[in-house]
């Protein structure tokens, strides 16, 4: 692996070359991903990798795409989606208009899961889902609404465990190895580029979901991003994180109340 | 070999798959109450969230047992269990990070991922233990631990419910000891913490 000191130097240089700041990324994962990028691209040495990154913006684009983790699935943690169905959507239903932000949406599986929940609660027509990611390539993929066919059985099981009662396959058209989700599901989703490290708040939301993104950041950057979410939430808005993530130590915790004893969903109280 | 780690230890990491729970249930009750080091436990398990594993292990030891949360600061005498469907990585500041990147060896958590990460950070202050299992996960991790000067301890395949995992590690990595579970616990009790 690239040594600790050399990792810090590379982070500094990338910031100088491209204005892209990885200094708040948790090092263990970042160094592992850099090693993966190094091996995958068959560089002869770390210095040749650095030279390519310096001279070739396309190489840097690939670097960003491969450093960020883009593993996701539909209805991951079914209990979480059940809590959304049973505890959060009934509250959102009382609003005339629902704005939701999926921060770090990756290839879009969770956003489509949310669109299905909203549709089943007859709320999709008055909702807008902003789905953002720092990685342009995954956004392109997310916009297609096409996911791997081999995953559908797992997703269907997740969907049923989350309280879904329809035939899951009615939401997509299977085709060879892929499943294309119905275009009407995607109509209320806006995919766009947003970098949690550098970009600011862009709207006020009733619900922000950012699951298993903060784990790639160090504590300091986690606090900064949680404050960004705090600023972007309505006064009674909901914040949902991954099952092993928390708002403790973030300075915003005293304004939030956990809505469900098990699931990581908080409601802003003031 | 890496005997130095026995008197210089900073972290114990244990990996296992099928059959490893039986070994742990023999080992854990024997660990002394004043255990001086944190223990990270990486077991292959189902993906659904459930507390039964944590509760079962906690019922067999006087040490604290918890499922790891992101950025937990590792405390001596506490056992951190890798959560279902997350890899566990170790940070230089003594905390751990979680990661949901691709499965490795069809596994998340992957033993290799955690062992390699721990070897990077803890070097000759690491003691790694590999238990029973039906998967080759952990063998590469053991090799990395050995290369970084850590102490490599493998359950005697003859005592393992499934011998494949410890056998693979013995084939692929230098190994400091091959022991039955009770002897592993006895050795861990003798480990001394690094004085800083």
Local structure of B19: helix, strand or coil:
coil
The total number of structural domains that make up chain A:
2
Residues A54 and A83 in one domain: no
Tell me which residues of chain A, numbers 103 to 162, contact chain B at a CB-CB cutoff of 8 Å: none
Last residue of a domain, one of A67, A93, A109: A67
A-B C-beta contacts closer than 8 Å: 65
pLDDT digit string (tens) for chain A, length 270 residues:
999 999 999 999 999 999 999 999 999 999 999 999 999 999 999 999 999 999 999 999 999 999 999 999 999 999 999 999 999 999 999 999 999 999 999 999 999 999 999 999 999 999 999 999 999 999 999 999 999 999 999 999 999 999 999 999 999 999 889 999 999 999 999 999 999 999 999 999 999 999 999 999 999 999 999 999 999 999 999 999 999 999 988 889 999 999 999 999 999 997
ipTM of model over 0.85: yes
A163 touches chain B (CB under 8 A): no
**Separation of CA A208 from chain center:** 10
Residues A43 and A97 in one domain: no
How far apart (Å, rounded) are the C-alpha atoms in residues A85 and A143?
Answer: 24
Domain range for A40 is: 4-67
Residues A35 and A135 in one domain: no
CB contact (8 A) between residue B117 and residue A32: yes
CB contact (8 A) between residue B49 and residue A243: yes
Residues A228 and A108 in one domain: yes
The DSSP bridge partners found for residue A148 are A178
CA-based nearest residue to B126, from B103, B143, B108, B150: B150
CATH code of the domain containing A230:
3.40.50.150
* Statement: B4-190 belongs to CATH 3.40.50.300: no
Residues A25 and A155 in one domain: no
User: Looking at chain B, which residue has its C-alpha nearest residue A31?
Assistant: B117
C-beta atoms surrounding A59 within 10 Å: 16
A27 touches chain B (CB under 8 A): yes
Question: Who among B48, B49, B97 is closest to A29 (CB)?
Answer: B97
CB contact (8 A) between residue A28 and residue B97: yes
């Amino acid at each position: 692996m690239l040594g600790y000191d050399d990792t810090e130097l590379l982070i500094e240089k990338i910031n100088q070359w491209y204005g892209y700041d990885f200094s708040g990324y948790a090092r263990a994962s970042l160094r592992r991903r850099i090693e993966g990028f190094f091996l995958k691209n068959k560089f002869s040495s770390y210095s040749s990798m650095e030279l390519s990154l310096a001279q070739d913006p396309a190489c840097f684009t690939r670097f960003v795409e491969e450093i960020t983790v883009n593993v996701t699935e539909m209805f991951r943690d079914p209990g979480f989606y059940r809590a959304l169905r049973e505890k959060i959507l009934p509250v959102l239903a009382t609003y005339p208009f629902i704005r939701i932000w999926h921060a770090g949406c990756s290839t879009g599986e969770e956003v489509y899961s949310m669109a299905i929940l909203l549709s089943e609660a007859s709320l999709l027509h008055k909702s807008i889902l902003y789905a953002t990611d720092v990685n342009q390539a995954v956004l392109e993929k997310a916009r297609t609404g096409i996911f791997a066919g081999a995953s559908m059985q797992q997703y269907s099981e997740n969907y049923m465990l989350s309280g879904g009662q329809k035939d899951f396959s009615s939401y997509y058209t299977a085709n060879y190895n892929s499943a294309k989700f119905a275009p009407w599901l995607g109509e209320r989703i806006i995919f766009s580029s947003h970098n949690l490290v550098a970009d600011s708040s862009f709207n006020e939301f009733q619900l922000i979901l950012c699951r298993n993104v903060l784990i790639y950041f160090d504590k300091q950057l986690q606090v900064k991003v949680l404050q960004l979410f705090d600023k972007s939430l309505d006064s009674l808005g909901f914040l949902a994180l991954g099952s092993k993530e928390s708002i403790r130590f973030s300075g915003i915790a005293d304004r939030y109340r956990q809505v469900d004893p098990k699931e990581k969903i908080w409601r802003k109280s003031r | 070999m890496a005997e130095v780690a026995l008197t210089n230890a900073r972290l114990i990491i244990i990996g296992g798959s099928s059959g490893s729970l039986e070994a742990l249930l023999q080992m854990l009750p024997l660990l002394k109450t004043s255990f001086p080091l944190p223990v990270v436990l990486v077991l292959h398990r189902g993906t659904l969230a459930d507390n039964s594993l944590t509760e079962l292990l906690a019922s067999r030891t006087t040490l604290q047992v918890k499922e790891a949360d992101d950025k937990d600061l590792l405390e001596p005498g506490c056992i951190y269990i890798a959560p279902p469907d997350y890899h566990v990585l170790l940070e230089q500041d003594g905390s751990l990070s979680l990661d949901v990147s691709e499965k490795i060896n069809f596994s998340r958590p992957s033993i290799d991922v955690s062992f390699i990460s721990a070897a990077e950070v803890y070097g000759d202050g690491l003691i790694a233990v590999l238990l029973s299992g039906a998967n080759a996960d952990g063998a590469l991790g053991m090799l990395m631990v050995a290369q970084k000067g850590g102490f490599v301890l493998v359950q005697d395949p003859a005592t393992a419910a499934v011998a494949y995992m410890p056998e693979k590690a013995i084939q692929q990595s230098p190994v400091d000891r091959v022991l039955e579970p009770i002897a592993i616990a006895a050795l861990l009790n003798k480990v001394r913490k690094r004085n800083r």
